[in-house]
Every structure is written in C-alpha cells, then in structure tokens.
C-alpha cells in the first residue's frame, strides 16, 4: 500500500472515530502538528530515521502534541503512528483528514486568476456564483495573472472554467485558421 493510501486509511478511520462536534478541531490540530514537523527538519529526520526506536518516536510526538494542547484523539493517533513507525505519514494524513472534513461539510476550495486584482465585492460575487453553480460552499483564493488579459479562470478541484480573454482569442485564432 502506498504512503498516501495508508495515510488516507488512517484519516478515514480517525474521522469516523471523532465526534462530529470535534472534527474541525481535530483537523486544525493535525494541520498544526504536520506544520510543526514540516517546519523542523530535525523532527522530520527523527521520525524518518529507522535507527530511532518506535517508542521513542511515539514519546516525542505525543509530548509535542500534548504540550501544544492537541485534542486527545490526535495525541492517541500520534502515539499509534509512532509505535507503528508511521509518523512520516503525518503531512499526507492531515491533508487527507482535512479533505474528508471538507467533503463532509460540502466545502470546496477554488482558485481564480484574473488580469487585475478583484475588489472584495467582486470576490464575494464570484464566490456566490461558484457556490450556486456547484451546489457547494466555496472557499475562494484569487491570484493576478496579467497574461490572461481579462476575464476569469476558475479552478475547482481538477475542473477548470476558462473565461479569459486570452482563451477566447485562442479559440478565434483556431477557428479562423481552420476556415482558411
């Protein structure tokens, strides 16, 4: 089983074991612990080192999480991961858990590109339109990409909605080339 698949399995099991009211908190604490590991190369190296005993890895993880005030289910999960030498999965596990929570809450992340910065009213209108189109609650992040010339390129998951001027010009160029 791949690391990502194993991390997803742990995330699914954890999600099912956590009461609905605590799921967002658990996601936040998993993200925080994964961020701590990612931000500390020594900690990451310790968890990846096969020479470090499993119980030592478990003790380090649970101590860090407990001192940070992590949810008891997160501390228990880290202890389990440590004793099975799976702490290297924490970043993938945190992502998989967050994805599962978002699916449960019917939340989707969308990225939009525009040629000029959007006002807050435009961002809200775009978010509302995408929410209506998808039937999901949309969290929107926006970037400026002057190469699109105008319009909007929105990406939700693997689906891209390209309403940019540069794409429309490319379509016209193709249409004119096939007519000639």
Break the chain into its structural domains and give their ranges. 3-103, 107-179
Amino acid 180: pLDDT: 64
- Predicted TM-score (pTM) of this structure: 0.77
The per-residue pLDDT of the chain, averaged, comes to 92
Amino acid 100: pLDDT: 96
Which token pair is 81? 């991961």
* Residue numbers in the chain where pLDDT is lower than 70: 180
Backbone angles phi, psi at 44, to 5 degrees: -60, -45
Amino acid 39: pLDDT: 93
Amino acid 175: pLDDT: 86
Amino acid 54: pLDDT: 94
């Amino acid at each position: 089983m791949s690391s990502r698949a194993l991390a997803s399995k742990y995330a699914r099991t954890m999600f099912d074991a956590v009461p609905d009211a605590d799921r967002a908190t658990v996601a936040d604490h998993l993200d925080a612990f994964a961020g701590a590991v990612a931000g500390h190369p020594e900690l990451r190296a310790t968890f990846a080192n096969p020479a470090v005993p499993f119980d030592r890895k478990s003790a380090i993880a649970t101590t860090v999480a407990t001192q940070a005030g992590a949810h008891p289910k997160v501390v228990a999960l880290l202890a389990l991961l440590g004793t099975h030498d799976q702490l290297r999965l924490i970043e993938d596990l945190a992502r998989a858990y967050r994805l599962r929570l978002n699916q449960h809450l019917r939340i989707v992340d969308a990225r939009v590109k525009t040629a000029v910065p959007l006002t807050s009213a435009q961002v809200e209108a775009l978010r509302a339109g995408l929410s209506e189109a998808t039937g999901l609650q949309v969290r929107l992040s926006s970037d400026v990409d002057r190469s699109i010339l105008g319009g909007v390129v929105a990406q939700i998951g693997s689906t891209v909605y390209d309403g940019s001027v540069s794409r429309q010009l490319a379509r016209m160029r193709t249409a004119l080339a096939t007519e000639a």
